[in-house]
Amino acid sequence: MIMPHYSVQVRDIEKIYHSGDITVTALESVSFSLREGEFAAIVGPSGSGKSTLMNILGTIDKPTNGEVYIDGVPISKMNGNQLAEFRNKKLGFIFQAYNLIAGLDAEKNAELPLMASPVSSDERKERADRLLGSLGLAARLKLKPTQLSGGEQQRVAIARALVNNPALILADEPTGNLDTKSGDEVIKLLRQVSKDRKVTIVMVTHNLDITKYCDRIIHIRDGRIEKQEVLK
């Protein structure tokens, strides 16, 4: 039974990689649910399957078995173009390596998801500028990624992830390349975003220190959920 107020429901997913004779079970009987606006952290040792899970939640990878519902929609039923549209409307991505487009300035990078949707260029620009402004980048709009610090680049990436008003933001080690101070700022920003905008956030991190900002911590080991902690 799908509970509509859940933003994310993961039902018994399994991910098996076959490379030659070797089979790697990256995920096994993973199930959990997240409420709208919940900020969840996924922690676990290297190779435990965190990124694999994120890619499946991000609809750019498919589970071998099981189903993922995002906003109540079963994503296994969609084809490539439907998934692209779905990602464009419902999801936002934040990567460890920022993954901005090098040739575009901060503003254009933040606008990018809206270029794939029917939003007028004026509105697009306005939304991107407003977001970048609220992230403290008002003076950086016309700078290229190489002219920005790591923390600034990640804030541009956050703006890009937010610009389409997504239901779910997926952040795989968003602070991995940042120093403690800018990492902390990024996490606080995400915390605030999930509160203010009721955006569900799933974040992978190795830094247990920053999980204190989260509502829920999912511990993964060897492709299985070891335990879940729900914080105040």
Ligand X SMILES: Nc1ncnc2c1ncn2[C@@H]1O[C@H](COP(=O)(O)OP(=O)(O)OP(=O)(O)O)[C@@H](O)[C@H]1O
Lay out the site mask for ligand X across 33-72 (x = CB under 6 A, - = otherwise).
-----------x-xxxxxxx--------------------
Contact 106, 184 (CB under 8 A): no
Q: Which of other proteins, Mg ion, ligand X, none does residue 99 bind (CB under 5 to 8 Å by kind)?
A: other proteins
Question: Judged by CB, which is closer to ligand X: 64, or 88?
Answer: 64
Helix, strand and coil percent figures for the chain, each rounded to 5: 40, 30, 30
The single-letter DSSP state of residue 140 is G
* 172 bridge partner residues: 204
CB of residue 106 to ligand X, shortest distance in Å: 27
| 78-105 exposure pattern, b = at least 16 Cβ within 10 A, e = fewer | eeeeebeebbbebbbbbbbebebeeeeb
Q: Which of ligand X, other proteins, Mg ion, none does residue 88 bind (CB under 5 to 8 Å by kind)?
A: other proteins
Q: Which of 160, 187, 211, 220 binds other proteins (CB under 8 A)?
A: 160
Instruction: Note whether 85 binds other proteins by CB under 8 A.
Output: yes
Cα separation, 30 vs 144, in Å, equals 40
Instruction: Note whether 230 binds other proteins by CB under 8 A.
Output: no
Q: Which of other proteins, ligand X, Mg ion, none does residue 39 bind (CB under 5 to 8 Å by kind)?
A: none
Instruction: Note whether 10 binds ligand X by CB under 6 A.
Output: no
Lay out the site mask for Mg ion across 31-70 (x = CB under 5 A, - = otherwise).
--------------------x-------------------
Which residue type is seen at 188? K
Maximum C-alpha span of the chain: 54
Alpha helices per DSSP H over the chain: 50-57, 80-90, 106-115, 121-134, 150-162, 180-197
Question: Judged by CB, which is closer to other proteins: 87, or 140?
Answer: 87
Instruction: Note whether 23 binds ligand X by CB under 6 A.
Output: no
CB of residue 58 to ligand X, shortest distance in Å: 12
